[in-house]
Amino acid sequence: MHFGKFTTRPSIELEKLRRSDRESEMLMGIDHRAVGEKEGSRQSPRQRAARREPKRGTVTGMQDAEPLRQQVISANVDFYKEIARKYDGYEACASDEYLQEMLESDLNRMQSLLAKERIHGLDCGGGSGNLTLKMLKRGWNVTVVDVSADMLEISRAKVSASGYFAEFVNDSVEHYLSSSPGVFDVITFSSVLHHLYSPLDVVNEVAARVAPGGIFYSNFDPVLPSSRSLIACFCDLDTILAKILRDRKDLLPGMLRRLRKLTLAQDAAHRRPVASPGDLAEYHAREGLDDVSIAQALEQQGFLVQRERYPVARTKLMLWANKHLHAHLSFKILAQRKTLLSRETPDSEP
Ligand SMILES: C[S@@+](CC[C@H](N)C(=O)[O-])C[C@H]1O[C@@H](n2cnc3c(N)ncnc32)[C@H](O)[C@@H]1O
C-alpha cells in the first residue's frame, strides 16, 4: 500500500535535503539502513545513540531503568506545572499556523486510510488539547492520556467549551498501557516521544494496541543530530529569540539556568547536568531520537511506515536559517497496521 505524500511544504524541503545530504537519501522507506552505518572510524549519530541507550531487554536492565523512568515522568509533571499556562502561546507545534495545517492534513490522511465511521483515537501526551480537539472536531471518540494534571485541565476546559466530550486519563502513557486493555483505530504522539525515557519501548507496546488497519502517528520529535555542538548552538539561539518574542519574563531566569548548568556536574545516571525539571522532561530533545529504529520496530510489527524529516525552529528567523543549514530536523511517522489478508489466515491455507 502506498500512503502518498504527507503535507506539501516539508516534502519540498525534504526534496532539497535529499539532493544535498547523503543521509537523507536513505529516508522515506527507500533504504532503512542506519544513518552513517558506512564503514569508518567516526561514530555515526546512531552509533552514539546506541552507546547512550540504557541497557534493556534483560531483567537487570529493566530494573535499573525503572527509577530513572519514574524521574523523567515526575520531571514532566513538574515542568508542565510551571509552563502549562504559557504552553499554547510558546510552543510552535501548538501555535504555528503552518504546523497546525500539517496536523490537519495528516489527520485527513488518517481518516481516508481508515475509511470508517466511528474512529476511536488515543492521544498519548495530549497536553493542552492541540491534537485532541482536531480529532474531536472530526467526530472521533478520543481518549487522552497525559501525566500532567495541569495540561489536562486546560484541555478539559477547551473540550467542554467547544461542546465535545473526551475521556481524560491522568497517567503516564507507560503505566496506562500496562494497566488497561483494548485497541484503538489511531494512536498519536504529538511532540511526546522525546519526553519519554524509553521511546522505543513505548512504540513497541503501543504498536500492539493499534487495531488491524489502524494507524500509529507521531510528529514533532528531533532526529539524531549530525553535529551535537551545532545543534546546541542552534537551539540555544532559537530559544533566546523565542523568549525575547514570546516569554520575555523568562529570558533572564532562562539564561541564568543555562549559566548554572555550565557550572553543574553531570548527573551520572542521566548523563547531563540537571538544573531544572526541563532538563529531564524533554529527555531526548538535545540528543534526538533514532527515527530509523522506530520505523523498523513498526515494520517488524506489521506496519507500513511512512517517515519524513523536515527542518524546524521556534522562530521564523531560525526556521529560515535552518532551511539552509539543516541543523535541526524533526521527523514524523505515519504507519498503518496491515490488515490480515485472507490468504494469511491458517484456515485458508491450501
Ligand atoms: C510538548 S507537550 C505536547 C502536548 C500536545 N500533544 C501537543 O501537541 O501540543 C508533551 C506532553 O506530553 C506529556 N507527557 C510527557 N511524558 C509523558 C508520559 N510519560 N506519559 C504521558 N504524558 C506525558 C506532557 O505532560 C505534555 O503534556
In this prediction, residue 133 has a pLDDT band, given cuts at 50, 70 and 90, of: very high
| Ligand 1 centroid from CA 222, angstroms | 15
Output DSSP code: residue 109.
H
On the question of pLDDT at 332 being above 60, the answer is yes
Please give the C-alpha separations between residue 346 and each of 77, 210, 217, in angstroms, as whole numbers. 47, 22, 30
Arithmetic mean of pLDDT, 169-185: 97
> Roughly how many angstroms between the first and final C-alpha of the chain, as a whole number?
25
User: Which region among 177-186, 215-224, 244-253, 265-274 has the lowest average model confidence (pLDDT)?
Assistant: 244-253
Per-residue pLDDT, 295: 98
For the entire predicted model, the pTM comes to 0.80
Nearest to 89 by CA among 233, 249, 232, 279: 249
Per-residue pLDDT, 130: 97
* Residue 59: exposure state from Cβ atoms within 10 A (0-12, 13-18, ≥19): exposed
**CA–CA distance, 141 with 139 (Å, rounded to integer):** 7
Does residue 318 line the site of ligand 1, with CB under 6 A? no
Output DSSP code: residue 23.
G
What type of residue sits at position 116?
A: K
User: Which region among 15-29, 48-62, 298-312 has the lowest average model confidence (pLDDT)?
Assistant: 15-29
In this prediction, residue 325 has a pLDDT band, given cuts at 50, 70 and 90, of: confident
| Ligand 1 centroid from CA 217, angstroms | 14
In this prediction, residue 340 has a pLDDT band, given cuts at 50, 70 and 90, of: low
Q: How far is CA 143 from the centre of its chain?
A: 18
Per-residue pLDDT, 162: 98
- What domains are there in the chain, each with its CATH number? 8-229+277-338 (3.40.50.150)
Question: 143 with 120: CB under 8 angstroms?
Answer: yes
One DSSP character per residue, 165-229 reads --EEEES-HHHHHHH----EEEEEEES-GGGSS-HHHHHHHHHTTEEEEEEEEEEEEEBPPS-HH
- Compare 117 and 348 and report the one with higher pLDDT: 117
Output DSSP code: residue 249.
G
For 252, other C-beta atoms within 10 Å of its C-beta total: 10
> Residue 309 — φ and ψ, nearest 5°?
-115, 150
Tens of pLDDT along 250-290?
888 888 887 887 888 889 999 898 988 999 999 999 889 99
| Ligand 1 centroid from CA 273, angstroms | 22
Question: 163 with 193: CB under 8 angstroms?
Answer: no
Per-residue pLDDT, 177: 96
Whose cell is 532526529? That residue is 223
On the question of pLDDT at 29 being above 80, the answer is no
CB neighbour list of residue 268: distance below 8 Å, 6 or more residues apart: none
**CA–CA distance, 2 with 87 (Å, rounded to integer):** 36
Q: Atom 18 (ligand 1): residue with closest C-alpha? A: 172
Of all atoms in ligand 1, which is nearest to the CA of residue 79? 25
Question: Whole-number mean pLDDT of the chain?
Answer: 82
What type of residue sits at position 172?
A: S
Arithmetic mean of pLDDT, 50-73: 66
On the question of pLDDT at 203 being above 60, the answer is yes
Per DSSP, helices labelled H in the chain are 8-20, 45-52, 59-90, 92-95, 97-114, 130-137, 149-161, 173-179, 199-207, 228-246, 251-263, 277-281, 291-300, 316-325
| Ligand 1 centroid from CA 321, angstroms | 28
**Ligand 1 probe mutation, 102, 106, 146, most atoms within 8 A of CB:** 146
Does residue 148 line the site of ligand 1, with CB under 6 A? yes
Arithmetic mean of pLDDT, 244-250: 83
Per-residue pLDDT, 339: 73
**CA–CA distance, 223 with 75 (Å, rounded to integer):** 22
Does residue 191 line the site of ligand 1, with CB under 6 A? yes
| β-pair type (329-337, 303-311) | antiparallel
